[in-house]
């Protein structure tokens, strides 16, 4: 079985965002594998351990992204592919590049994160599946592979769905799918020797025209800073009384007395 | 020059979701003079929701109903809307950024070879120039985007845009038969309603959220009662989820859900950066925490330093009295 994981490198969730000259400052930032993608990597490695599989992790970005790919290799992936993202400026373009790579790489299971914690659009993986003509199941919390079929569980708006799907297919990982492992020291040592291939758009047969952006960012801003408000005084009775009035005011039920 | 806008509306339990009217209002804004708006509803029985939708002025409401569409599944829902898209040839497609809307939108965008701007919280249109504002890093920052070329696909975040209030001539309702995709490769084989019918977190006007300070799964009971009195939803911090007090589906934060309710009540939540990203755009924030130094107080409009197990039940009691008083 061949498993491919689409992954992205993101800021750590505890990072604050700073703007310098209108751009997001990246100096001194701690980088991680996007947490949802990390569940996808973990699931792939478990499939390898439980059923035997070769696991390839694929990312789009600059050379610094190799660090996240090495971490995935240390977790147990077998090889990594880094597609040069220099000329890829929107989700459609990134999905085109990934689809072009995947179109010539056989696989049974494609895994990715539910969304990235930075851009948060949740487009790329689903676009890739659609472009390749594959079914997908998003935001899964359980995955069982049996022959050419997968059974998975996902939560949608308070409902728990069980979905059956024929392989090959894409699955995007939701929190709760698994508990990702920390790379072990031997894993980290082994990862250094595992293959990491750099791929350019030219290698994929794509021209600048093919990936010309459809959308563009024109501005970045930070949310208005919230100020610390008022501490309510008095005993529990008095505090609850004040809070109740404040809440009813805000919900438009202020007539309540 | 008016544009043709397709709205993929959504229903839940045979009622039109409020966000569908927010999408319709966005459609009206973007269609412009002489524009053309078509809405689509997909499900097993969409009659009631279609009627609600048709009360708002537009060219037509298209219904695609079949038993198999009772629960959202990407392939089937795409098969339901694709013929409508191909026929209407929209300049713009708008969907709610809900569990199903965000799942379906990229398929539509890919089908149209179009750009997509996701999770939009504000739309600004000055003549032909239209820009879309959306959160990034779960709301730690915002970006403004524009389309460079059409068609456009947009998903809008619930609770952020004004809902459509137009009452015009009733729009015609058109029923289309559903044709299953061939080959059919994916299928929902079971659906379980989870727990009591709680309100969707991202659409709730009030969110009552618990953190490590709730101390156990049972500790969420008084929070659930408070949420119920306010017709709100229950949420949680990552710490509470990781500790196993509640399900991950309740998690609010940069991992988890981003919420923007009218009132957010944080109980026993210290306020890690990753949690603040998911809730700091709430209109009113109330924090209840034993630790007066907790960072949550730095962003709360009102703070109570104290024991949530004393304050929350008392607050629920007060609210119940006041709400009953006004209704009787």
Is residue A215 assigned to a domain?
no
Express each pLDDT in B180-196 by its tens digit. Answer: 998 889 999 999 987 55
Is residue A121 assigned to a domain?
yes
Express each pLDDT in B99-129 by its tens digit. Answer: 999 999 999 999 999 999 999 999 999 878 9
| Closest-CA distance of chain B to residue A197, Å | 27
**pLDDT class of A256 with cuts at 50, 70, 90:** very low
Interface test with B, best of A247, A248, A254, A255 (most B CBs within 10 A): A247
CB contact under 8 A, A251 and B145: no
Which domain, by its residues, includes A44? 2-199
Is residue A95 assigned to a domain?
yes
| Residue with the larger pLDDT of the pair B62 and A147 | B62
CATH of the domain at B292: 3.40.50.1220
Tell me the average pLDDT of chain A: 95
A:B CB pairs within 8 Å: 279
Find the closest chain A residue to B326 by CA distance.
A256
Q: What is the ipTM of this complex?
A: 0.94
Find the closest chain B residue to A243 by CA distance.
B315
By the 8 A CB rule, do B254 and B277 touch? yes
**What is the full DSSP assignment across chain A?**
-EEEEEE-EEE-TTPPP-EETTEE--TTPPEEE-HHHHHHHHHHHHHHHHH--EEEEEEEE-GGGHHHHHHHHHHT-SEEEEEE-TT--SHHHHHHHHHHHHHTS--SEEEEES--TTT----HHHHHHHHTT--EEEEEEEEEEETTEEEEEEEETTEEEEEEEESSEEEEE-TTS--PPPPPHHHHHHHTTS-EEEE-TTTTT--TTTT--SEEEEEEEPPPPPPP-EEP-S-HHHHHHHHHHHHHHHTT-TT--
My answer on whether A158 and A88 are in the same domain is yes
pLDDT of residue B197: 52
pLDDT of residue B196: 53
Count of domains observed in chain B: 2
Is residue B182 assigned to a domain?
no
Which domain, by its residues, includes B314? 201-327
Q: Which chain A residues are closer than 8 Å to B77 by Cβ?
A: none
My answer on whether B108 and B205 are in the same domain is no
Count of domains observed in chain A: 2
pLDDT of residue B195: 59
My answer on whether A72 and A146 are in the same domain is yes
Is residue B89 assigned to a domain?
yes
Express each pLDDT in B137-184 by its tens digit. Answer: 999 999 999 999 999 999 999 988 999 988 778 899 999 999 999 888
Q: Which chain B residues are closer than 8 Å to A176 by Cβ?
A: 247-249
My answer on whether B87 and B171 are in the same domain is yes
My answer on whether B171 and B318 are in the same domain is no
My answer on whether B166 and B111 are in the same domain is yes
**What integer is the mean pLDDT of A190-207?**
97
């Amino acid at each position: 079985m061949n498993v491919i994981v689409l992954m992205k490198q993101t800021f750590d969730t505890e990072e604050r965002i700073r703007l310098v000259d209108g751009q997001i400052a990246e100096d001194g930032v701690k980088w991680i594998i996007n947490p949802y993608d990390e569940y996808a990597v973990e699931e792939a490695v478990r499939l390898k351990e439980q059923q035997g599989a070769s696991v390839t992790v694929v990312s789009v970005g600059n050379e610094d992204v190799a660090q996240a790919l090495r971490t995935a290799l240390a977790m147990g992936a077998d090889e990594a592919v880094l597609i040069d993202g220099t000329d890829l400026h929107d989700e459609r373009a990134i999905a085109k590049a990934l689809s072009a790579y995947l179109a010539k790489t056989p696989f049974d299971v494609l895994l990715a994160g539910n969304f990235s914690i930075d851009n948060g659009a949740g487009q790329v993986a689903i676009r890739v599946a659609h472009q390749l003509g594959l079914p997908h199941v998003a935001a899964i919390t359980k995955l069982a592979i049996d022959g050419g079929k997968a059974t998975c569980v996902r939560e949608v708006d308070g409902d728990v769905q069980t979905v059956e799907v024929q392989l090959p297919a894409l699955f995007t990982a939701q929190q709760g799918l698994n508990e990702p492992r920390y790379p072990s020291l031997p894993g980290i040592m082994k990862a250094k020797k595992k293959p990491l291939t750099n791929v350019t758009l030219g290698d994929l047969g794509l021209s600048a025209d093919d990936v010309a952006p459809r959308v563009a960012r024109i501005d970045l801003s930070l949310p208005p800073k919230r100020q610390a408000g008022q501490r309510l005084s008095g005993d529990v009775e008095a505090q609850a009384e004040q809070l109740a009035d404040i809440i009813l005011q805000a919900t438009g039920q202020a007539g309540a007395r | 020059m008016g544009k043709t806008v397709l709205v993929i509306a959504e229903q839940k339990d045979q009622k039109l979701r409020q966000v569908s009217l927010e999408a319709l209002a966005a459609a009206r804004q973007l269609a412009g003079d002489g524009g053309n708006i078509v809405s689509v509803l997909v499900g097993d029985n969409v009659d009631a929701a279609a009627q609600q939708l048709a009360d708002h002025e537009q060219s037509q409401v298209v219904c695609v109903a079949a038993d198999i569409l009772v629960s959202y599944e990407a392939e089937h829902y795409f098969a339901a809307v694709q013929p409508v898209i191909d026929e209407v040839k929209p300049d713009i497609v708008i969907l709610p950024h809900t569990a199903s809307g965000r799942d379906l939108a990229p398929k539509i965008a890919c089908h149209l070879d179009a750009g997509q701007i996701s999770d939009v919280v504000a739309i600004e249109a000055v003549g032909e120039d239209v820009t879309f504002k959306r959160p990034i890093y779960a709301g730690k920052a915002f970006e403004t985007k524009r389309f460079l070329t059409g068609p456009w696909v947009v998903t809008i975040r619930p609770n952020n845009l004004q809902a459509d209030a137009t009452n015009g001539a009733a729009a015609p309702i058109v029923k289309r038969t559903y044709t299953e995709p061939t080959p059919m490769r994916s299928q929902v084989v079971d659906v379980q309603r989870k727990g009591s019918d709680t309100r969707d977190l991202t659409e709730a006007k009030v969110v009552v959220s618990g953190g490590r300070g709730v101390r156990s799964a049972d500790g969420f009971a008084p929070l659930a009662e408070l949420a119920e009195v306010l017709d709100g939803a229950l949420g949680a911090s990552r710490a509470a989820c990781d500790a196993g007090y509640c399900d991950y589906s309740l998690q609010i934060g940069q991992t988890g859900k981003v919420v923007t309710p009218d009132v957010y009540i944080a109980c026993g939540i210290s306020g890690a950066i990753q949690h603040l990203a998911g809730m700091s755009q709430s209109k009113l924030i109330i924090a209840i925490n034993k630790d007066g130094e907790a960072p949550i107080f730095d962003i709360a409009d009102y703070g109570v330093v104290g024991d949530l197990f004393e304050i929350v039940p008392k607050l629920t009691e007060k609210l119940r009295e006041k709400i009953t008083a006004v209704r009787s």
